[in-house]
């Protein structure tokens, strides 16, 4: 059996012919180990959010000044798309290969219906707050969070949005749901709020930290992880009646953790900035209790990370950097 290796991520066409029949397939070739810096035409604009479809081929990244980029080949090649805004975009989410959403500053809520090739601003939400994150449970049901405790919800695919203000007075930075009913939001001053009814009502958890929480990921109804400033990491612990939170040892005060993704209950990643090395990428294999430092092949801070399984992931950040691994970063 032959072994293919690659110094960079690449694609190749495989042609097979036998018995008078012929077929072709696209083969994705990845480096054997670790993180790889992907070339891209970002023009130096900071990228703040990244999302990939489950097959790991179609992906999107958004950033400052309305920067929108997409890939069809797992990040080997990225192309620009007209974002139709000059506001900084913070987060992106697609519910299918065609339909996607991006949110950003100044109440910017963008929708694409052609795979990210073109975007239209949605002007029906009636708010001008900076929007920080978007998450969809299915094509109809999704949430957006922003400044001043803002939570937006749609149950009809974005035809209309309900507006709620949580009684916290702080910016909400991230939202994550397991299914369409159970969700968490996190934000400034250690804010954590949850819902068991799809966001119709919310409860505020007792504060465990005053640090900014930048990202949360809910793997299932019982397991979630939140990360933030000063290397802060929190994880849920199941109690008799609900789900509570506890502080872990974290990553250390040298880290600012801005992105988190747990493709499985035990294995997950967090990205951000390090006072020592610039970029930060860490992996946990025990549900966020202990972390191993990885080398993301860049010194630029990484603002978001997304994995489609425990091995294949991407991170984006300062200066338009995009890094990728197909080996769990190892």
Please indicate, yes or no, if residue 7 is contained in any of the structural domains.
no
- Phi and psi, residue 318, nearest 5°: -60, 140
Q: What domain range is 257 assigned to?
A: 33-325
| Spatial contact of 97 and 56, defined as CB atoms under 8 Å apart | no
Asked if residue 266 belongs to a domain, the reply is yes
Instruction: Tell me phi and psi for residue 294, to 5 degrees.
Output: -115, 165
Each residue of 77-132: pLDDT tens digit? Answer: 999 888 789 999 999 999 999 999 999 999 999 999 999 999 999 987 889 999 99
Give me the pLDDT at residue 238, please.
77
Burial 230-253 (b: 16+ CB within 10 A, else e): bbbbbbbeeeeeebebeebebbbe
Paired with 178 in beta bridges are 182
Query: Does residue 20 form part of some domain?
Result: no
Q: What is the mean pLDDT of each run of 10 residues along the chain (330 residues)?
A: 42 53 52 81 89 97 95 94 90 98 97 95 89 98 98 97 95 97 97 96 93 97 96 86 83 96 98 96 96 95 98 97 96
Give first-to-last CA distance, the chain, whole Å.
24
Residue 10 lies in a domain: no
Given this model, what pLDDT does residue 32 score? 52
Q: What is the pLDDT of residue 293?
A: 96
What is the total count of domains within the chain? 1
Is position 217 within any domain? yes
Length of the chain (residues): 330
- Phi and psi torsions of 82, nearest 5°: -70, 110
319, exposed or middle or buried, with CB in 10 Å at 0-12, 13-18, 19+? middle
Give the integer Cα–Cα distance in Å for 284 and 19: 49
CATH number at residue 235: 2.130.10.10
Strand-pairing partners, residue 17, are: 22
DSSP code at position 190 = G
Per the CB < 8 A criterion, the answer to whether 271 and 303 are in contact is: yes
Tell me, yes or no, whether 19 lies in a domain. no
Whether residue 26 lies inside any domain: the answer is no
Judge whether 188 lies within some domain. Answer: yes
Which residue, 317, 302, 314, 320, is CA-closest to 56? 314
Residue ranges in the chain assigned as alpha helix (H): none
- The pLDDT value given to residue 26: 46
Pairing mode of beta strands 47-52, 233-238: unpaired
DSSP 133-178: EEEESSSS-EEEEESTTEEEEESSTTSS-EEEE-TT-S-EEEEEEE
pTM listed for this prediction: 0.90
The answer to whether 320 and 47 have CB atoms below 8 angstroms apart is yes
């Amino acid at each position: 059996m032959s072994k293919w290796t690659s110094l960079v991520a690449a694609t190749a066409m495989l042609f097979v012919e036998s018995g008078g029949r012929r077929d072709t397939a696209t083969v994705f070739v990845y480096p054997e180990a670790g993180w790889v810096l992907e070339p891209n035409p970002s023009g130096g604009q900071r990228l703040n959010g990244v999302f990939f479809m489950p097959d790991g081929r179609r992906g999107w990244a958004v950033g400052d000044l309305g920067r929108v980029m997409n890939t069809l080949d797992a990040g080997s090649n990225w192309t620009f798309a007209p974002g139709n805004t000059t506001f900084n975009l913070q987060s992106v989410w697609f519910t299918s290969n065609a339909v996607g959403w991006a949110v950003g500053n100044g109440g910017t809520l963008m929708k694409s219906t052609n795979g990210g090739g073109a975007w239209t601003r949605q002007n029906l939400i009636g708010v001008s707050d900076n929007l920080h994150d978007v998450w969809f449970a299915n094509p109809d049901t999704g949430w957006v969070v922003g400044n001043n405790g803002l939570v937006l919800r749609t149950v009809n695919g974005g035809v209309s949005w309900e507006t709620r203000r949580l009684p916290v007075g702080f910016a909400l930075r991230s939202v994550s749901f397991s299914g369409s009913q159970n969700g968490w939001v996190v934000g400034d001053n250690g804010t954590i709020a949850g819902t068991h009814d799809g966001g119709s009502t919310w409860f505020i958890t007792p504060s465990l930290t005053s640090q900014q929480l930048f990202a949360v990921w809910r793997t299932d109804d019982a397991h979630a992880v939140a990360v933030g400033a000063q290397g802060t990491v929190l994880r849920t612990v199941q109690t008799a009646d609900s789900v509570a939170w506890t502080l872990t040892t974290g990553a250390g005060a040298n880290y600012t953790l801005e992105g988190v993704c747990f493709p499985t209950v035990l294995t997950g990643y967090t990205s951000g900035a390090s006072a020592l090395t610039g970029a930060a990428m860490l992996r946990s294999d025990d549900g966020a209790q202990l972390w191993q430092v990885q080398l993301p092949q860049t010194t630029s801070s990484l603002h978001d990370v997304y994995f489609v399984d425990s091995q294949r992931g991407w991170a984006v950040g300062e200066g338009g950097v995009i890094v990728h691994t197909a080996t769990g970063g190892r």
